[in-house]
Amino acid sequence: MKFFIDTANLDQIREANDLGVLDGVTTNPSLMAKEGIKGDENCRKHYVEICNIVDGDVSAEVIATDYEGMIKEGEELAALHPNIVVKVPCIADGIKAIKYFTNKGIRTNCTLVFSPGQALLAAKAGATYVSPFVGRLDDISSDGIELVEKIVDMYAYYGFNTQVLAASIRHTQHIIQCIEAGADVATCPLSAIKGLLKHPLTDSGLATFLADHKKVNS
Ligand code: E4P
């Protein structure tokens, strides 16, 4: 499974990238706003900065919600850097735009996906990635991981090439569940990625190894 980091924060992107296991980055308008990045020009500069840090796919989301607007914005975003993936919401004009981008060889991430039916339309339009939002479904007492499993099974059954990018990951256990569900990618906060490393037996085992080494070497 590939790991993307779900942030527009450059320090966190650098820290995750330095681990050597990062495959890409996802952003969204809320994450960009959280970093105080405003205006088209600044947003574009920021996407290029991210692309210069990480050697992997970087999702940049369109703001337009109409077909023509999405096409214009998506083409401009895709032209910024070869690693840009145009992120498009799962609405009717979005599906049409994804189909257009697919025909033009522009890669896409269909976002805000909450049902297998939406994921089917995204795949039929040729989306590179589909983003089921795990945490937001869990937030409303639904089952986000179950949606990931259903999409993985459906894509395997019909032979779609669209990759399942589990999004809205809130904690480390979500990542483990995404692995078990067969997601192609999980996009995660840095804290959830670092949480994978935590184990008390690793810490106590390392402390014992170092203490035993010191006993005979001091
Ligand atoms: C990433 O592609 C999504 O926009 C993001 O994971 C949403 O996460 P949230 O539900 O925590 O805002």
Distances 12 to 16, 47, 86, 153, 185 between C-alpha atoms, Å: 6, 14, 22, 33, 19
Q: Whose CA is nearest to atom 5 of ligand 1?
A: 168
Mean pLDDT over 89-111 rounds to 98
Q: Name the percent of the chain lying above pLDDT 90.
A: 100
Burial class (CB in 10 A: 0-12, 13-18, 19+), 198: exposed
Amino acid at 8: A
pLDDT tens digits, one per residue of 109-159: 999 999 999 999 999 999 999 999 999 999 999 999 999 999 999 999 999
Place of tokens 């809320």: 30
pLDDT tens digits, one per residue of 7-55: 999 999 999 999 999 999 999 999 999 999 999 999 999 999 999 999 9
Of 133, 138, 190, the one to substitute when testing ligand 1's pocket (max ligand atoms within 8 A of C-beta) is: 133
DSSP letter (8 states) at residue 89: E
Q: Report whether 109 contacts 78 (CB < 8 A).
A: no
Mean pLDDT over 178-182 rounds to 98
What ipTM, to 2 d.p.? 0.98
Mean pLDDT over 190-196 rounds to 96
In this predicted structure, what is the pLDDT of residue 8? Answer: 98
What is the distance between the alpha carbons of residues 188 and 174, in angstroms, rounded to a whole number? 9
In this predicted structure, what is the pLDDT of residue 203? Answer: 97
Cβ-based neighbours of 2, under 8 Å, separated by 6 or more: 23, 24, 184, 185, 186
Q: Whose CA is nearest to atom 7 of ligand 1?
A: 168
Domains contained in the chain, number: 1
CA 4 to ligand 1 centroid distance, Å: 12
Mean pLDDT over 192-208 rounds to 97
Cβ-based neighbours of 137, under 8 Å, separated by 6 or more: 114, 143, 144, 147, 168
> Active-site residue numbers?
87
In this predicted structure, what is the pLDDT of residue 38? Answer: 94
In this predicted structure, what is the pLDDT of residue 36? Answer: 98
Indicate which CATH number applies to the domain containing 37: 3.20.20.70
Structure tokens that stand for 52 in this block: 């210069």
Please list every protein residue whose CB sits less than 6 Å from any atom of ligand 1.
6, 26, 28, 111, 131, 133, 135-136, 167-168, 187
User: Which residues form the domain of 89?
Assistant: 2-217
pTM (two decimals): 0.96
What is the distance between the alpha carbons of residues 119 and 155, in angstroms, rounded to a whole number? 9
